[in-house]
Chains A and B, each alone.
Chain A
Amino acid sequence: MPSVIAEDSVGIVNSQIYSHTQPFTLQCGTTLPSYELVYETYGALNENKSNAILICHALSGHHHAAGYHSMDEHKPGWWDTCIGPNKPIDTNLFYVVSVNNLGGCHGSTGPLTLDPETQKFYGPSFPSVLVRDWVVSQSHLADHLGIHKFAAIVGGSLGGMQALQWTIDFPERVHAALLIACAAKLSAQNIAFNEIARQAITTDPNFFAGRYVENSVKPSQGLMLARMIGHVTYLSDDGMRDRFGRELKSGDLSSGGGVEFQVESYLHYQGRAFSKHFDANTYVLMTKALDYFDPARETGDDLVATLAPVKAKFLVLSFSSDWRFPVDRSREIVNALIEARKNVAAAEIESDQGHDSFLLPIERYVRILRSYLIRVAGEVGK
């Protein structure tokens, strides 16, 4: 909890709700009669409304990206290292919008919402949501805020996929897209990890086919396991060796009694914390959105053709030790952008922190983000 707010923090922030009162038909064909998105904003929208940046969150993210909800809050928002006055996503220059995606569990309409038609929790019957649906719903929020064109749309991992989809579906509404530790589609290995996570959740005896809320329980064990698997894939072998090695939290290796390795303790802690704050149905829904993302599918797997209508310029960043979204996946995007004659800059950041690197204040990474966005600020005007 902050005793004082740092100068480069956005400070105390409040979440807001956007209510979409019109029916919204999803890609799967189901129509939501209405929906709500919870979001936060940092900085001020300029007169021309040209300085807005949209932050798209990753699998387990949400709208609270920077600052504190109160002086009692334990930790700042999930991307506080990058968002704030004089930080790379500089709130002195930009109006930053951060939204919790549809189907989420932090306040936007999702499995934990009451279905207005049945007056029951949506739960597992919440319709399948694709990255495209998120992008359209975010565009509704942008309309509501009076933003026609974003100066930049920024996202890591699944967030980068949303930024990429934006440039394809709304070419006129994105000046720059920043794709960080991203991929144009998941690999078989990635889908496999997601399926293991889903199985961990759905086979928990407390899952009740997704109707755990009605049964007054939570599939915490399954969610914890899912998170532990995910977490390992977000780190790297070297990173884990440096951080945990074979250190013991307790017990004695020579007798083998009561042994708990530090890494075990860490994963248990992370898994438990996550299972308290995250909804199991949302986890299943979001991992599926990840798996199904494949914008080139409609053009016969020709990403270059898919990118033809795109007008945005791109910054593509990847991390050397990221094996969940490896450097090669970013190169695929970069090569397609070059072939499609789009403006793109790309850097491969040295880091031993794996996929999680995109959330960390790695010096070279942060400097590039800042350089790129200062340039963008100049291009979109004050």
Chain B
Amino acid sequence: MKLRADLKLISELVNPNARVLDLGCGEGDLLAHLQNTKQVNGYGLDVDADNIRICIDKGVNVIEQNLDDGLSNFADDSFDMVVMTETLQSVREPDHLLKEMLRIGEECVVTFPNFGHWRCRLQLLTFGRMPVANHLPHSWFNTPNIHLCTFKDFEALCLDLNLRIIQRRVVDYKHNEYTWLSSAPNLLGTVAFYRLGKNS
């Protein structure tokens, strides 16, 4: 099975036997991969009935739980890594969730679509229309993405919340990483990839 490029990046950051929590785990590809290759003790949260069944087919520890209901059922520092890929923009309280992720986990990885990408800017500037792009395929009225942001917005929030940015990576909409993207991430990057830790 070929792992999505961003999931591959994440799996490189996870140590063998680590405890991993995947928020919005989808079809469980990351956790299945980590269970098979690194023997992690992993759990995924999701609310989609099909996703949950597919996770069960794969033997992934999937828990039906809505991220908007919070994560108060998880103890402080109970995971080595908390992951949330392309989900931040669709939760009700992204700031609160980010804080919760680092309460529960030693580190976390967050990826989200960059609203500052030049295509988005161009569409709004020239046509005066809400942007629709490869990485943001929905129209304004049916998008699940209620909290879109840019690289710069996200970093400002991390500063506000006193979260440490360990690493920033920039990938295109197919989650491939090219060095030239890093030259101007907020303009050229379609998907933002952040590895975060706690500030001591």
Tell me whether B41 and A345 are in contact (CB under 8 A).
no
Residue B1 interfacial (CB < 8 Å) = no
Known contacts A339-B75, A341-B19, A346-B63, A375 near B57 by CB under 8 Å: yes
The chain A residues found within 8 Å of chain B, CB to CB, are: 315, 331, 334-335, 338-339, 341, 343-348, 364, 367-368, 371-372, 374-375, 379
Q: Which of B26-65 contact A (CB under 8 A)?
A: 41, 43, 49, 52-53, 55-57, 59-64
Tell me whether B19 and A348 are in contact (CB under 8 A).
no
| Main SS at interface, chain B | mixed
Name the residue of chain A whose CB is nearest to the CB of B41: A341
CB-defined contacts of A338 to chain B, threshold 8 Å: 43, 63, 74
CB-defined contacts of A348 to chain B, threshold 8 Å: 64
Known contacts A368-B53, A368-B56, A372-B56, A335 near B73 by CB under 8 Å: yes
Residue B134 interfacial (CB < 8 Å) = no
Range for the number of chain B residues in contact with chain A: 10 to 19
When the two chains form the complex, which single residue of A331, A335, A368, A379 contacts B52, counting CB atoms closer than 8 Å? A368
Residue B78 interfacial (CB < 8 Å) = yes
Tell me whether A344 and B63 are in contact (CB under 8 A).
yes
The 9 closest A-B pairs by CB, nearest first: A347-B64, A371-B56, A346-B63, A335-B73, A348-B64, A345-B62, A371-B57, A341-B41, A372-B56
CB-defined contacts of A372 to chain B, threshold 8 Å: 56
Name the residue of chain A whose CB is nearest to the CB of B57: A371
**Cα separation A334 to B64 with both chains bound (whole Å):** 10
Q: How far is the CB of A364 from chain B (nearest CB, A)?
A: 6
Q: Can you list 28 residue pairs at the A/B interface with Cβ under 8 Å? A: A331-B73, A334-B63, A335-B73, A335-B74, A338-B63, A344-B43, A344-B63, A345-B52, A345-B56, A345-B61, A345-B63, A346-B63, A346-B64, A347-B62, A348-B64, A364-B49, A364-B53, A368-B52, A368-B53, A368-B56, A371-B53, A371-B56, A371-B57, A372-B56, A374-B57, A375-B57, A375-B59, A379-B59
Q: Which of B61-82 contact A (CB under 8 A)?
A: 61-64, 73-75, 78
CB-defined contacts of B49 to chain A, threshold 8 Å: 347, 364
Q: How far is the CB of A265 from chain B (nearest CB, A)?
A: 36
Q: Which of B1-41 contact A (CB under 8 A)?
A: 19, 41
Residue from the set B56, B59, B61, B78 with the largest chain A CB neighbour count within 10 Å: B56
The chain B residues found within 8 Å of chain A, CB to CB, are: 19, 41, 43, 49, 52-53, 55-57, 59-64, 73-75, 78
Tell me whether A345 and B78 are in contact (CB under 8 A).
no
CB-defined contacts of B63 to chain A, threshold 8 Å: 334, 338, 344-346
CB-defined contacts of B59 to chain A, threshold 8 Å: 375, 379
Q: How far is the CB of A242 from chain B (nearest CB, A)?
A: 22
Q: How far is the CB of A366 from chain B (nearest CB, A)?
A: 11
CB-defined contacts of B43 to chain A, threshold 8 Å: 338, 344
CB-defined contacts of A344 to chain B, threshold 8 Å: 43, 61, 63
CB-defined contacts of A347 to chain B, threshold 8 Å: 49, 52, 56, 62, 64
Q: How far is the CB of B200 from chain A (nearest CB, A)?
A: 25
Tell me whether A345 and B19 are in contact (CB under 8 A).
no
Tell me whether B64 and A367 are in contact (CB under 8 A).
no
CB-defined contacts of A334 to chain B, threshold 8 Å: 63
